Amino acid sequence: MNGAGTLARTASREVDSAVLDGELVDHGPVPRPRSRRARLAAWWQHSPRVPVAFQGGPQGRQAAKDAVAAVVRSPWRYLGAVARGVVAGVRWWRRWVTVRDYREAAEESEKLADKFTEIRELTLFRWRVTGAIAAAVTVAGTLGVFLDGWRPLWITGGVASVALAILGRRKDGSPGRKAVLAGPRSLTWTMDPQVLVDAFRDAKLIGKDESLRLVERAHREGDGWAVTVDLPATRKAADVVKNREALASALAVDEIQLMAERVRGRGGHAGRVALWVADADPYDKPPMRTPLLGVEQWDAWRPVPFGRDARDRRIDVPLVWTSLLVGAIPRQGKTVATRTAAAGMILDPHTRVYVADFKGGKDWMAAAQVAHRFLSGDDTDHVLALLDWLVELVAEVQGRYRRMRELDDTICPESKITPQMSRDPALGMPITPVFIDEVQVPLEDRTPVQVQGKKVPAGEYIGELLTWLAKKAPAAGIVLVLATQRPDSKTIPSGLRAVLGSRFALRVMDWRDSNIILGEQMNTRGFDSSRLLPSHKGVGILRPDGETEAGADVLALMVRTYLMTGADWHALCHHGRALREAAGTLSGHAAGQDTHPVPDHTAVAKTIGASTREPLGARRPVELPEPLGAVVDYLGDDLDQREFIPSTELVDALDIDATAFGRQMGELGCRSDRTRVPRGDGTTRQVRGYHTADIRAAIERCRNGTPTDAEVVEDDP
């Protein structure tokens, strides 16, 4: 026992005398526990049990406005409810005193004649009861006045008015009462929800027995009202966007005041649509000046401030890794829109700018002080100079890709240029934007040039070069920005248009020109720049290649470009030159070193021919106008094997508007006809459609250059 105690005491002394090694770790200040008040405030802001209107923010402010408005309107609403209660009470009394319920029961049992005496007696009895009650009320009121003054009458009248107001209150679904949207009971005090429902019905967007469901209550956004609704099942938001003009007519506003967008991504689906209705024409005011005037320096990798939409949201357009096509008729703001896109590139001293102005005026002269390559004019010499530039750029792109293969993965992780690579002078890969105004001039030039032992038109060669650059050069840092006042299929090849990422269409003459800029069938989706007003200078439809303030999934939107006067343009270019002088990046034409490039046409022609898998200068097949081209692509071999194609089959397959499709096919010389087609059970049914012989004849007319019915009408004086 003593030995065990001695061992225990010895072990205890050893532990007490031991030195423990350790390291002091400082995890920073220990967070103090939040107070009960802070926890309560956090719970109040995020709890789903607390109504959104009481959590503050925009919804809280809107709820406060609604409450104030309700207080101001409450006397008039109370009087209206009392009046409706009086009417409802009189109707109920009249039905009771005339024994309407007893009479209707006798009529249904076909015993009205037998019950006539009883009905007459019951009617007289109820009239007597009414008179007795009226007399009793009159006597009671008179006694009350004599005994206690007018106070009993006021109390009785107040109680009666409250009862009448309750009887006359509006109820959803009651006969003769006004219906509201499913969801919250009201949109907002300034907007009648039934007007929106009736507008959708009048525009044939929902049926008479269908309604809408409110997703987001109406609220002020800019100078208008915004609301998000869900359509009934099987109804599509794309149809609302397509028929925006009909909906605007039903709402009694100009279509320029109505914006309809499908809600996509998280929180959206095919039947959810966001509407915004402006108080007035959003473009009936002076345009805003470009915000780049107050910028010391810009980063070309950032989207360029391009303009503002109807909601007054700033819309930026990305240019790196993509391209831009701007089209319009003269004097609609095409040059200003192109210069607005160029301003961001000019204010980045690390970019190498190419400018080709085939208008030959003063619009782009200020850019000569910053441009690496610059020309202004519409002569053949200018066209050939541009051709040499493009050949030089093709060789430059090939060289950049070769150098990328040799770079380390940390510097160039993919076969794409990075911001660090574009600013490294040793690599020689700066962002190189190429601005070509009036691009139709070089594309239509027929001057023969020698390529691979053959003479081909210069315009065709330039079209091939631009197409190749638009396909392969963006990843190497080459940006194409093309502007034209003649957007037609004969001027801009379809292969070039197909690879231009962003499109901006200002006002044009008809829907065909709009589709050439924005893409095929865009007019049937509700985007037609030929419907823009002539007074709206600088307003166009933007189809962006990338995310904008309106969202990443927006197909197209209406934008008004920033205003850039001639003085502003000169100031921006002068500042861009100063930035390049300070950074030591001034080169080429701006530095007085305007040496003519010595391009290798043979090597470049082989490269382009290999990429297109056909000899350069080979005759391209004639492009078929839409929707004829889409019909031919859909039918394929059936075009020669079938004799008749129903219209419904084509409309469903191409997903286009039936009315617009019929009109366009008629203008191309294909008239629809009714004929009988066999069913699966051996019977026949009569349908409307097109004979394939008419479609083949229309194709032949396009290939031979024979004018269509629409072109004959347009050319007829």
Encode pLDDT of 632-678 as tens digits: 877 776 777 788 888 888 887 777 778 888 888 888 888 888 887 77
Question: Is the pLDDT higher at 180 or at 631?
Answer: 631
Of the listed ranges 42-56, 153-167, 556-570, the least confidently predicted one is 42-56
Phi/psi class of residue 477: alpha, beta or left (left: φ > 0; alpha: ψ in -120 to 50)?
left
The answer to which of 103-112, 219-228, 641-650 has the lowest mean pLDDT is: 103-112
Q: Which pLDDT score is estimated for 704?
A: 67
- Of the pLDDT bands very low, low, confident and very high (cuts 50, 70, 90), residue 400 is very high
Strand pairing category for 448-451 and 454-457: antiparallel
More confident residue, 315 or 612: 315
pLDDT at residue 28 is higher than 80: no
CA distance 714 to 717: 8
Q: Give the distance, in angstroms, between the CA of residue 31 and the centroid of all CA atoms in the same chain.
A: 46
pLDDT at 59: 62
How much is the mean pLDDT over the chain? 80
The residue-averaged pLDDT of 682-696 equals: 83
Give one DSSP letter per residue of 388-416, joined into a string: HHHHHHHHHHHHHHHHHHHS-TTT-SSSS
CA triple 439-443-449, angle to 5 deg: 135
Q: What is the pLDDT of residues 575-628, one digit of tens each?
A: 999 999 999 999 999 998 877 776 666 666 666 654 544 445 444 445 677 788
Name the range with the highest mean pLDDT among 11-20, 355-364, 668-677: 355-364
In this structure, of 50-64, 275-289, 528-542, 683-697, the range with the lowest mean pLDDT score is 50-64
Residue type for 365, please? M
Residue 411 has pLDDT above 70, yes or no: yes
Between strands 272-278 and 258-262, the pairing is antiparallel
Using DSSP's 3-state secondary structure scheme, residue 466 falls into helix
Q: How many helices (H) and strands (E) does the chain have?
A: 24, 19
Q: Is the pLDDT of residue 296 over 50?
A: yes
pTM of the model: 0.64
Instruction: Please give the pLDDT value at position 112.
Output: 59
3-state SS, residue 421: helix
Higher pLDDT, 398 or 218: 398
Encode pLDDT of 226-275 as tens digits. 888 899 988 988 889 888 889 988 888 888 888 888 888 777 888 999 99
Q: Higher pLDDT residue, 126 or 169?
A: 126
Q: Given a cut of 50, is residue 179 above it in pLDDT? A: no
Q: What pLDDT, on the 0 to 100 scale, is given for residue 386?
A: 94
- DSSP label at 318? -
pLDDT, residue 173, reads 37
pLDDT digits (tens, 9 = 90+) for 496-528: 888 888 999 999 988 888 888 888 778 877 888
Q: How confident is the model at residue 368, as a pLDDT?
A: 94
Query: What average pLDDT does this structure show over 387-411?
Result: 91
Mean pLDDT calculated for residue range 278-290: 87
pLDDT at 550: 59
382-402 burial, b if ≥16 CB within 10 A, otherwise e?
bbbbbbebbbbbbbbbbebee
DSSP codes, 42-103: HHHHH-TTS-GGGS-HHHHHHHHHHHHHHHHHHHHHHHHHHHHHHHHHHHHHHHHHTTHHHH
Q: What is the pLDDT of residue 549?
A: 64
Structure tokens at 201: 């019905």
Q: Which of 85-89, 485-489, 551-555 has the lowest mean pLDDT?
A: 551-555
- pLDDT of 477: 94
Side-chain half-sphere of 572: how many Cα atoms within 13 Å?
Answer: 28
Q: Which residues of 248-276 are buried (b: 16+ CB within 10 A; e: fewer)?
A: bbbbebebbbbbbbbbbeeebeebbbbbb
In whole angstroms, what is the distance from residue 103 CA to residue 105 CA?
Answer: 5
pLDDT, mean of residues 341-365: 93
pLDDT band at residue 11, thresholds of 50, 70 and 90?
very low
What per-residue confidence (pLDDT) applies to 352? 95
Give the residue from 164, 169, 168, 193 showing the smallest Cα distance to 181: 193
End-to-end alpha-carbon separation of the chain, Å? 130
Q: By CB neighbour count within 10 A (0-12 exposed, 13-18 middle, 19+ buried), where does 453 fall?
A: exposed
Model confidence at 171, in pLDDT bands (50, 70, 90)?
low
| For the chain, percent of residues with pLDDT exceeding 90 | 27
* Residue 192 pLDDT class (50, 70, 90 cuts): low
The pair of three-digit structure tokens given for residue 324, joined into one six-digit string: 């831009």
Two structure tokens written together for 298: 């810009």
pLDDT confidence of residue 294:
84
Q: How sure is the predictor about 681, in pLDDT bands with cuts at 50, 70 and 90?
A: low
**Best-predicted range by mean pLDDT (161-165, 407-411, 478-482):** 478-482
Instruction: Please name the residue that has the structure tokens 């980045």.
Output: 348
Q: Which amino acid is at 287?
A: P
CA distance linking residue 363 with residue 383, whole number of Å: 18
- Statement: residue 302 has pLDDT above 90: yes
At 456-503, the pLDDT tens digits run 889 989 999 999 999 999 999 999 999 998 777 677 877 888 888 899
Which helix (H) or strand (E) is 604 found in, with range? helix 601-612
Closest CA to 427 of 401, 397, 396, 403: 403
Rounded to 10 degrees, the C-alpha dihedral 78/80/85/87 comes to 160
- The total of other beta-carbon atoms located within 10 Å of residue 569's CB is 23
What is the mean predicted confidence (pLDDT) over 126-151? Answer: 86
Average pLDDT over residues 540-551: 77
User: Maximum Cα–Cα distance for the chain, whole Å?
Assistant: 131
What local confidence, expressed as pLDDT, does residue 682 receive?
A: 64
pLDDT score recorded for residue 552: 59
SS3 category, 213:
strand
- Is 50 exceeded by the pLDDT of residue 119? yes
Kind and range of the H or E element at 674?
Answer: strand 673-678
Contacts with 391 (C-beta within 8 Å, 6 or more apart), sequence order: 465, 597, 599, 600, 601, 604
Contacts of 562 (CB under 8 A, 6+ apart): 287, 288, 289, 290, 291, 305, 306, 307, 308, 340
Place of tokens 């409110």: 214
* Low-confidence winner among 332-341, 449-458, 700-709 (lowest mean pLDDT): 700-709
